[in-house]
């Protein structure tokens, strides 16, 4: 084994299990849970995250692409795996071969799946995605009946589900979500009028918190499983006992002392205003620690907050430890998560970066070595 990186993203399987159980407690036993593990489980590691969720009771998983579903099957994950971006011709073959449940919204995908199911001698369940206002994937409301008629022409396919997605469920003061749910219910009535009884789902993390009546047969928690809320205001208004799953830590490589008036990092955009002690960390935008956080970001050293000084480099940044004299080379620095009594949350980093917590988790998880731990 080679020398590991100084930087590590720690993923707490116990926290992941806890969060799944919190969602289960909230929605009750009658509603199924599709644990969303797309995008490498939001940067937390697809396979180990799915395994931890299985330990907590998850039996259904949502992925973006067929390749993710195949990897889950190869890792021994059973139960339903819904491919939420749908399939192409190659994806159709793998979806049938690995018993994945594809979302469909084009005739081309339907034809490809039917051909593969016929070839495999099986009937394949598919879930129709309808667009009630997201403007993304899915058939439009007026296309529902023709699409259902097309599906019925393929004896190797059957309708197992109907799904949609809200664009503003996490927006405070939003009123359009209720209108879009009414449209979804109307579409469901039109489906049921044909004698079909597919499972129905539309609730992401924000929806399952705000609108119990919209949980339908199944909910699709994503960000909440990983210990975050879709928006800051939801954290205050709909408190759920969620635990952050990810922690991003590194090691102090050098400690340096500078006089007042010393320019720091590229462009000398920061100049010391007093004798200053800086800890140099091997973390930069190559690690997902975005350059635009310069002048705003803080890290934890010895359990205390230390501001990042100067521009963030590709593989380095500097933290001001003038007021934390005990910091030395080899100490741990925490960029996300707990250290002692201190904590930096993904929501803070998102504000410093002018983005959302989803992106922060995905960036940190994809750009750094993942280490899976179990705090139980």
Options 119, 238, 266, 328, the catalytic residue: 266
Cα 58 to chain centroid, rounded: 16
Integer Cα distance of 86 and 209 in angstroms? 27
Options 38, 124, 129, 200, the catalytic residue: 38
Burial of 173: CB neighbours in 10 Å, binned 0-12, 13-18, 19+: exposed
Integer Cα distance of 16 and 203 in angstroms? 20
Please provide residue 60's backbone torsions phi and psi, each rounded to the nearest 5 degrees: -135, 140
Is 328 one of the annotated active-site residues of the chain? no
Q: Sign of the C-alpha dihedral, residues 166, 169, 171, 176?
A: positive
**Element spanning 222, H or E:** none
CB 144 within 8 A of CB 187: yes
Is 38 one of the annotated active-site residues of the chain? yes
Integer Cα distance of 201 and 204 in angstroms? 9
Integer Cα distance of 291 and 310 in angstroms? 10
Cα 168 to chain centroid, rounded: 17
Q: Sign of the C-alpha dihedral, residues 127, 128, 133, 136?
A: positive
Q: Sign of the C-alpha dihedral, residues 146, 151, 155, 160?
A: negative
**Element spanning 235, H or E:** helix 232-237
**Element spanning 179, H or E:** helix 176-192
**Element spanning 338, H or E:** strand 332-339
Integer Cα distance of 41 and 43 in angstroms? 5
Instruction: Give the active site residues.
Output: 38, 266
């Amino acid at each position: 084994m080679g020398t590991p990186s100084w930087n590590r993203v720690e993923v707490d399987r116990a926290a992941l299990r806890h969060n799944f159980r919190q969602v289960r407690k909230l929605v009750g036993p009658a509603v199924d849970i599709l644990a969303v593990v797309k995008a490498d489980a939001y940067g937390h590691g697809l396979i180990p995250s799915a395994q931890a969720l299985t330990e907590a009771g998850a039996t259904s998983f949502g992925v973006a692409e067929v390749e993710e579903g195949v990897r889950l099957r190869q890792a021994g994950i059973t139960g339903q795996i819904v491919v939420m971006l749908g399939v192409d011709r190659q994806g159709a073959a793998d979806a049938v071969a690995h018993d994945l449940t594809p979302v469909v919204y084009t005739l081309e995908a339907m034809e490809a799946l039917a051909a593969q199911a016929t070839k495999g001698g099986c009937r394949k369940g598919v879930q129709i995605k309808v667009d009630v206002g997201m403007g993304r994937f899915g058939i439009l409301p007026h296309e529902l009946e023709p699409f259902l008629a097309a599906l019925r022409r393929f004896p190797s396919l059957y309708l197992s589900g109907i799904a949609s997605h809200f664009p503003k469920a996490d927006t405070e003061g939003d009123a359009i979500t209720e209108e879009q749910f009414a449209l979804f219910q109307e579409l469901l009535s039109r489906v049921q009028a044909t004698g079909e009884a597919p499972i129905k789902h539309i609730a992401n993390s924000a929806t399952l918190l705000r609108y119990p009546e919209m949980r339908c047969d199944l909910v699709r928690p994503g960000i909440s499983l990983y210990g975050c809320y879709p928006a800051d205001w939801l954290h205050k208004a709909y408190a759920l006992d969620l635990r952050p799953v990810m922690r991003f830590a590194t090691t102090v490589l050098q400690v340096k002392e500078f006089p007042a008036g010393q320019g720091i990092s590229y462009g000398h955009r920061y100049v010391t205003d007093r004798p200053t002690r800086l800890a140099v960390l091997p973390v930069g935008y190559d690690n997902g620690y975005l350059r635009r956080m310069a002048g705003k970001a803080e890290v934890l050293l010895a359990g205390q907050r230390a501001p990042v000084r100067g521009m963030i480099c590709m593989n380095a940044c500097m933290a001001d430890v003038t007021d934390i004299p005990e910091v030395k080379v080899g100490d741990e620095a925490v960029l996300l998560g707990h250290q002692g009594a201190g904590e930096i949350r993904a929501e803070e980093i998102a504000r410093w970066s002018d983005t959302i917590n989803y992106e922060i988790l995905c960036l940190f998880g994809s750009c750094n070595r993942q280490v899976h731990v179990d705090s139980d």
